[in-house]
Amino acid sequence: MTLFDVVFSGNDAVYGLTENAINEAIAKYGEDKAVAFPDTAYSLPCYYGVTGTKVGNLGELKAALGVVKTLMTREQKLNDAFMSGVATALCAEFIEVLKYIDGATPYEAPCYGHLADAVIRELGVPLVTGDIPGVAVLLGAAPTTEDAVALVKSYQSQGILVTLTGGIIDQLEEAGYKTGANVRVIPLGKDVTSVIHVVSVAIRAALIFGNVTPGDAGALMEYTMKRVPAFVNAFAPLDPVIVACGAGAIALGFPVVTNEDTFKVPKSLINQPDVSKFNATSLEARDIKIKITNIDIPVAYASAFEGEIIRRKDMQVEFDGSRVDCFELVQTKEMSEIEDHKIELIGPDIDTFEVGSKHSLAYIVEVAGKSMQADFEPVIERKFHSYLNCVEGAYHTGQRDMFRIRIGKDTFAAGFRAKHIGEILYAKVKSEFAAVVDKCQVKIITDAELCTKLRHELAIPVFDKRDERLLTLTDESVDVYYSCIMCQAFSPSHVCVVTPERLGLCGAVSWLDAKATNELDPQGPCQVITKERPIDERIGEYEDVNEAVNKFSQGALDDVSLYSIIEKPMTSCGCFECICGIEPLSNGVCIANREYAGMTPIGMTFSELASMTGGGVQTPGFMGHGKHFIASKKFMKAEGGVARIVWMPKELKEQVAERLNATAKELYNIDNFSDMIGDETIAEDPETLLAFLEEKGHPALSMEPMM
């Protein structure tokens, strides 16, 4: 028998039962006898939701069964199986509603049977907000009472709503386990058909919260699939009726996990022989993420502790990357390689260390997720500093393999140990990067030899690879850029277009940062900008970039170039690290950084330049930018590139010299280019600067006139 055959036979069986039950009821009460569930405005919610038709009496119910019959096609195709599943569910609803005929109260505590609209409204809000992260539909009897209790408890502790149908109700009762809507464990009923009451919840949620029009079955199924995070755990043995019901569940988007070795449908009908793994398997199948709300450590955790400094005399133990081998690392893994929330300590714990001693430490945070990308690793890693600093009585400086951590005596005395570092990193990474990290585990290594080995064999190669990636990441090598409009609060029309070679002008937002921000907060300040329709490659102007800038500036700006400061230069907000401006006499540009208070050869100080350049207005000849951009090959590319730089404050020049020289060497084969650039010790006026440039043979003097 195929899976389809099983579904069809289960469906046929239930249909037969339903038909008999309706006929019997009509014989007894007549066709005009009213049928209804109590306390709902949605008639027979499942039937009403799927067809848009309300059923009021037995005659109409019979007619409805005729409609159900039309769903029961019998080709060996997936759709036929799904529709038969839906038909089975509807039949179950009919059987259940008949139980309520003549004002009967078919369900007694602990079973609920039909749930009132008021309950749906109450449960619906936390379902929509994610406070109830999922709905577990448990069907049948678990292998043992202990298994039943353990499974229900595991869901309950995650805030998941549990509904029970069949034998498991007796199992929980036997164990004396507390059930009820208030503890979010709801026994529905002992007949299989009572499972329809949870389906009814899902359907009414779609009608109430999803504004789905009754009868719009497509929209209904889309809503339940996307917005109702339900799944089914069906315990062996499965009979054809249960399989047919399962097909109905799958049609609504709810995967079925079972411990019976039966047919498998990827992502929908999943075999998990180990009932203790039902939880993990179900959550992964339904893509349910559990929010982490508290961090399990023995001391306080708050941003108020971020600025604490632990002095030597107060220090229990120290890990210092500058003296011994240490490193911190995020690594992306496959989903199957990670056991969520596993914290592993390799080596001795802190309590074996002498007071005031120095040790090696490495922690590797391994993450996996459908939307995780290796590019986010450094973004996550960079947050470790503030994550660990928020611990009361602990402090962290530096990064990569050059960090230092000190743990205070009081914190140690309160019970803080190595694994707590893992708890913090786990909780923070899972909560703050929930959009990309589905699973996370942490390895903490205090074994000195292993630290040394892994630092050289694992960490340093990764860091080198990342640095190389940053170097090779060019504007041409990526498909999209990002907007950044974080500054619009005070510079309303300003939009930064962040590209790999041109970070945000504040210096704080790189292309990778913007990419991660976009992924984590899709409605946030960083939006994807495509660059598929170039207008002028020389100045870096694109139709799609212009459209984006127009949109994000609310129409204040029509066009920008990415690589020119003369033609449609990018605007500046107010928080630029540097401003460059044309110095006409020397046919180049001067750059002033924010820290520089003196005069520039342009005849304006940084603050004078800033007042002309800021505010999101295009000012040809002047532009705000980040320090890092100075050595970029895209810096003023349209005007000839970095060779145009004729003057910078000494301090800034020293900061960028190495990278700038490398760029100049590559672009123009000029050695030590930074020595040709003037600074305030050489000139603060254009004439003296020009004399200096002529003496040095600065390339700008022989370039095309800028204007």
Partner 1 sequence: MPFTAKSGKFSASINTLTMGTGEKAIVLGGENVLPFYTFDAPIENAPKVGIEITDGGLEAEPECVKKYYEGCETIVDMAKKAATFEGVDFLSIHLEGGDPNGENKPTEELIKIVKEVAEAVDLPIVISGCKNVEKDSEIFAKASEVLSGKNAVMLAAKEENYKNVGASAGLAYKQIVGAESADDINLAKQLNVLLTQLGVDAKSIVMNVGTAAAGYGYEYVVSTMDRIKAAALQQGDATLQMPIITPVASETWGIKESIATEEDMPEWGDQEARGIDMEVETAAADLASGSNAVILKHPVSVATISKMIKALV
Partner 2 sequence: MALKGLDIFKLSPKKNCKECGSPTCMAFSMKVAQGAVSIDACPYFSEDAKAAMSEATAPPMKTIKVGAGENEMVLGGETVLFRHEKTFVNKTRYAVDICSCMDDATIEAKVAELKHVDYERIGERMYVEMIDVEYDPASGADRYVEVVKKVAGEGRVLILDCQDVEVAKAALDVCKDAKPVLNGANAQNYEAMSKLATEAGVVLGVYGADENELFDTLAALEKLGNKNLVFNACTSSVKAAFATAVQFRKAAIKDSNRTCGYPSIVNVSKLAKGDSHLQAALLSLFTVKYGSIVIAEKISYAEALPLYGLRQNVFTDPQKPMKVEPGIYRINGADENSICLTTVDFALTYFVVSGELERSGVPCNLIINDAGGLSVLTSWAAGKFSSSSIAKFFQEQDIEGKIKCRKLCIPGKVAVLKGELEAKMPGWEIIVAPREAVQLVKFLKDMQ
Size of residue set near partner 1 by CB under 8 A: 21
Separation of first and last alpha carbons in the chain: 82
Q: What angle do CA 414, 418, 422 make, to 5 degrees?
A: 110
Of the pair 184, 406, the CB lying nearest partner 1 is at 184
- Binding-site member from 71, 485, 505, 590 for partner 1 (CB under 8 A): 485
Look at residue 444 and give its three-state secondary structure.
Answer: strand
Query: Looking at this protein, which amino acid is placed at residue 530?
Result: T
Of the pair 484, 670, the CB lying nearest partner 1 is at 484
CA–CA dist 704, 699 (Å, integer): 10
Of the pair 475, 513, the CB lying nearest partner 1 is at 513
Q: What letter does residue 455 receive in the DSSP assignment?
A: I
Of the pair 11, 491, the CB lying nearest partner 2 is at 491
CA–CA dist 526, 482 (Å, integer): 6
- In the window 107-126, what residues touch partner 1 (CB under 8 A)? 121, 124-125
- What does 604 bind: partner 2, partner 1, none (CB cut-off 5 to 8 Å by kind)? partner 2
- In the window 354-413, what residues touch partner 2 (CB under 8 A)? 389, 395
Query: Looking at this protein, which amino acid is placed at residue 225?
Result: M
Residue 135 β-bridge partners: 161, 230
Give start and end residues of each alpha helix (H) in 236-362: 240-251, 278-286
Looking only at the bridges linking them, the beta strands covering 315-320 and 404-408 are antiparallel
Token pair 């339903």: residue:
18
CB of 24 to partner 1, least distance (A): 38
- What does 619 bind: partner 1, partner 2, none (CB cut-off 5 to 8 Å by kind)? partner 2
635 contacts 586 by C-beta, under 8 angstroms: no
Give 116's contacts (C-beta < 8 A, 6+ positions apart).
38, 39, 40
42 token code pair: 């949605």
599 contacts 684 by C-beta, under 8 angstroms: yes
CB of 209 to partner 1, least distance (A): 4
- In the window 107-136, what residues touch partner 2 (CB under 8 A)? none
- Binding-site member from 125, 304, 374, 662 for partner 2 (CB under 8 A): 304
Alpha-carbon distances, residue 274 vs 216, 241, 527, 550 (angstroms): 39, 23, 44, 56
- What does 218 bind: partner 1, partner 2, none (CB cut-off 5 to 8 Å by kind)? none
Residue 307 engages partner 2 in binding (rule: CB under 8 A): yes
- In the window 192-211, what residues touch partner 1 (CB under 8 A)? 208-211
Site string for partner 2, 543-562 (x = CB under 8 A): -------------x------
67 token code pair: 């409609």
Residue 617 engages partner 2 in binding (rule: CB under 8 A): yes
- DSSP strands (E only) in 304-353: 315-320, 326-332, 342-346
- Binding-site member from 415, 555, 584, 598 for partner 1 (CB under 8 A): 555
Site string for partner 1, 40-69 (x = CB under 8 A): ------------------------------
Of the pair 395, 482, the CB lying nearest partner 2 is at 395
Residue 616 engages partner 1 in binding (rule: CB under 8 A): no
- What does 309 bind: partner 2, partner 1, none (CB cut-off 5 to 8 Å by kind)? partner 2
- Binding-site member from 59, 492, 524, 640 for partner 2 (CB under 8 A): 492
CB of 645 to partner 1, least distance (A): 34
CB of 211 to partner 1, least distance (A): 6
Residue 156 engages partner 1 in binding (rule: CB under 8 A): no
Render the burial of 628-655: b for 16+ CB within 10 Å, e for the rest. bbbbbebbbbbbbbbbbbbbbbeebbeb
CB of 560 to partner 1, least distance (A): 18
CA–CA dist 75, 8 (Å, integer): 10
Among residues 95, 48, 278, 260, the alpha carbon closest in space to that of 192 is found at 95
- Binding-site member from 352, 554, 611, 688 for partner 1 (CB under 8 A): 554
642 contacts 631 by C-beta, under 8 angstroms: yes
Cis peptide before 534 (omega within 30 of 0): no
- Binding-site member from 191, 308, 375, 544 for partner 2 (CB under 8 A): 308
Token pair 């119910």: residue:
61
- Binding-site member from 84, 165, 571, 619 for partner 2 (CB under 8 A): 619
451 token code pair: 């630290």
- In the window 575-614, what residues touch partner 2 (CB under 8 A)? 575, 581-585, 594-595, 599, 601-604, 608, 611-612, 614
Among residues 508, 506, 519, 507, the alpha carbon closest in space to that of 480 is found at 519
- What does 474 bind: partner 1, partner 2, none (CB cut-off 5 to 8 Å by kind)? none
Residue 186, phi then psi, degrees to nearest 5: -115, 110
Looking only at the bridges linking them, the beta strands covering 439-445 and 496-498 are unpaired
Residue 492 engages partner 1 in binding (rule: CB under 8 A): yes
Of the pair 6, 486, the CB lying nearest partner 1 is at 486
Residue 489 engages partner 1 in binding (rule: CB under 8 A): yes
- In the window 125-144, what residues touch partner 1 (CB under 8 A)? 125, 128-131
CB of 159 to partner 1, least distance (A): 14
Among residues 419, 363, 412, 362, the alpha carbon closest in space to that of 392 is found at 412
CB of 321 to partner 1, least distance (A): 37
Alpha-carbon distances, residue 349 vs 361, 402, 443 (angstroms): 11, 21, 13
- Taking the C-alpha atoms of 171, 157, 372 and 506 in order, what is their torsion angle to the nearest 10 degrees? 170
228 contacts 127 by C-beta, under 8 angstroms: yes
- What does 582 bind: partner 2, partner 1, none (CB cut-off 5 to 8 Å by kind)? partner 2
Judged by the rule CB under 8 A, the positions of this chain that interact with partner 1 are 121, 124-125, 128-131, 208-211, 485, 488-489, 492, 523-525, 551, 554-555
Judged by the rule CB under 8 A, the positions of this chain that interact with partner 2 are 303-309, 389, 395, 490-493, 508, 556, 566, 574-575, 581-585, 594-595, 599, 601-604, 608, 611-612, 614-615, 617-622, 685-687, 707
